[in-house]
Copies of this chain bind each other. A is one copy, B any other.
Amino acid sequence: MVLIWVLFKSLVLNFVFMLRIVGVGLDDGEVTQKGLEAIERSEKAFAEFYTNTETIDLELLEEETDQSIQKLSREEVEQQDKILESAKSSDTAFLVSGDPLTATTHYDIKHRAEESGLEVEVVHAPSILTSVAETGLNVYKFGRVVTLPENMKPDSVIEHVNKNDSVGLHTLILLDINYSADEAAEKLIEMDESLSDRDVIMIERANMDDQRIS
């Protein structure tokens, strides 16, 4: 029995590689102990930061985990599927900012990895979805979160803000990288003039020493 199990293990289990999607939070030092271990234990490590501004010092993480981390472009993650390709032949860590499952693109990678038979481990981390409470607003009283891209005017954004409003909930509006909040606010009012009397609280560089709330 033992022999068969050993044989089975070497034949099958060794060929199931692990994809570890590791959240690194919003600032240096916000990766968890689990996260550091996950990066250390992997054979390869990649990172993407196109969903957020680059607030994480990858070199520091490389030193701490004794692991070389390759930064990927959006195209390499989404079109070339570098993460899944790597995870098919080696234990792979994929570093993403914030908490891993809040971005649709990471959720999609998890789903497809599982479908192709890989084992997936998610390592959670601090996220803007809870840091928003630093504004003084109760995190329980937020409705649907929306993203406002710089070069688009999606009607759905206004629709969700108004729906949240109709049941007394705040809306967290995530802005595209480097999109100024002033311009974003102007665009929203242009899209729906009734928004012009809303109060807006802005949080910049959340979780960082120079975090600003205005």
**In the complex with contacts A32-B25, A101-B133, A134-B101, A167-B139 CB distance below 8 A:** no
The answer to whether B32 touches A29, judged by C-beta atoms less than 8 angstroms apart, is yes
The answer to whether B122 touches A134, judged by C-beta atoms less than 8 angstroms apart, is yes
Judge whether A107 is part of the interface by a CB distance below 8 angstroms.
Answer: yes
CB distance from A163 to the nearest CB of B (A): 4
Stretch binding the partner chain, chosen from A70-78, A88-96, A123-131, A187-195: A123-131
Judge whether A49 is part of the interface by a CB distance below 8 angstroms.
Answer: no
Interface positions, chain A 189-210, Cβ under 8 Å from B, are: 207
What does DSSP make chain A's interface, helix, strand, loop or mixed?
mixed
Judge whether A149 is part of the interface by a CB distance below 8 angstroms.
Answer: no
Judge whether A177 is part of the interface by a CB distance below 8 angstroms.
Answer: no
Judge whether A153 is part of the interface by a CB distance below 8 angstroms.
Answer: no
**In the complex with contacts A31-B33, A34-B30, A140-B145, A107-B133 CB distance below 8 A:** yes
- Tell me the bound Cα distance from A26 to B102 in angstroms: 17
Judge whether A168 is part of the interface by a CB distance below 8 angstroms.
Answer: yes
- Tell me the bound Cα distance from A84 to B105 in angstroms: 43
The answer to whether B124 touches A124, judged by C-beta atoms less than 8 angstroms apart, is no
Judge whether A104 is part of the interface by a CB distance below 8 angstroms.
Answer: yes
CB distance from A138 to the nearest CB of B (A): 7
Residues of B contacting A181 in the complex (Cβ-Cβ under 8 angstroms): none
**In the complex with contacts A107-B138, A139-B145, A126-B126 CB distance below 8 A:** yes
- Tell me the bound Cα distance from A166 to B133 in angstroms: 25
Among B26, B124, B146, B169, the residue within 8 A (CB) of A143 is: B169
The answer to whether A129 touches B124, judged by C-beta atoms less than 8 angstroms apart, is no
Contact mask for chain A residues 26-52; partner B; CB cutoff 8 A; 1 contact, 0 none: 110111111011000000000000000
**Can you offer 25 A-B residue contacts whose CB atoms are under 8 A?**
A29-B32, A29-B37, A30-B32, A30-B124, A31-B33, A32-B126, A99-B131, A101-B130, A101-B131, A101-B139, A102-B139, A104-B140, A107-B138, A122-B134, A124-B126, A125-B126, A127-B127, A129-B139, A139-B145, A140-B144, A140-B146, A141-B144, A143-B143, A144-B167, A163-B168
